[in-house]
Amino acid sequence: MTRTRWIVLAVLAVLGFVSGRLLIRAVGNMLLGGTLFGGNFL
């Protein structure tokens, strides 16, 4: 694979990880209240 492709995959991995954490935080906030950002790391 080319270097560019590795970078794209790394970006996708970070985006996926962050999205997963944000989803759970959003669901928790919907049920209990809270902000999407701030406080904990995501």
Partner 1 sequence: MAIGVLVFTLAFAAGVASKFLVKPAGLQKYDVTWGEGIGTRECDLSYGEGEANRFDLYLPKDDTRDSSGLVVYLHAGGFTTGDKSDDEKMLSWLCSKGYVAAGINYTLRTDGNDASVLTQSNEIKSAMPEVVKAAEAAGYHIDRMAVAGGSAGHALAMIYAYRDGADAPVPVVLTFGAVGPSSFHAEDWGIFGAGTETEEERTAAAALFTVMSGETITPEEIADGSYLEKVRPIAAADWVSHNPVPTVVAYGAHDKMQPFLASKRLVAALDESGVDYRYFEMEHSGHGLQNDDAVYQEWMETVEEYLDKYMPVG
State the residues that interact with partner 1 by CB under 8 A. 8-9, 12-25, 28-29, 31-35, 37-40
Q: Are 18 and 42 in contact (CB under 8 A)?
A: yes
| Min separation Cβ 11 and partner 1, Å | 10
Nearer to partner 1, 3 or 39 (CB): 39
Contact 22, 16 (CB under 8 A): no
What Å distances lie between residue 10 and 2, 5, 27, 36, CA to CA?
A: 13, 9, 26, 24
User: Residue 3 or residue 38: which is nearer to partner 1 going by CB?
Assistant: 38
CB of 36 to partner 1, least distance (A): 9
